[in-house]
Amino acid sequence: MIPPPPEPTLPEELLLLAPDPRRGRPYCRSRFLEYAMAGAALAELSLQGWITEERGRALAALVSAADQSRFVAADRTRRGGG
């Protein structure tokens, strides 16, 4: 049985929603989209527990070696590397 596809990340969802289907270009200026993508990437990392915020600065979260190896394995699976 084929496993279901993984849920898209926030940056992936934003990238899917950005283009105008008739023109094939983003609805907004590319600079705005760059900022939105950066924010979506930071939000995704925060949701997954890889970064935290302290006094307005992003900090790498402390992750155990076991959690890190699980993340690497999940990322490989997500990318189709088994």
Mean pLDDT confidence for 2-25: 87
Q: What is the pLDDT of residues 56-65, one digit of tens each?
A: 887 887 766 6
* pLDDT for residue 38: 92
* pLDDT for residue 81: 57
- For every residue of 37-69, DSSP letters joined together read HHHHHHHHHHHTTSEEEETTEEEEPP--HHHHH
Do the bridges between strand 57-60 and strand 51-54 make them parallel or antiparallel, or are there none, so unpaired?
Answer: antiparallel
50 domain-assigned = yes
> Which domain covers residue 30, as residue numbers?
10-19+26-78
Count of domains in the chain?
A: 1
> Which has the higher per-residue pLDDT, 58 or 74?
58
1 domain-assigned = no
**What phi, psi does 81 have (nearest 5°)?**
-90, 5
2 domain-assigned = no
Q: What is the pLDDT of residues 28-54, one digit of tens each?
A: 888 888 999 999 998 998 888 888 888
Location of structure tokens 């600065």:
57
4 domain-assigned = no
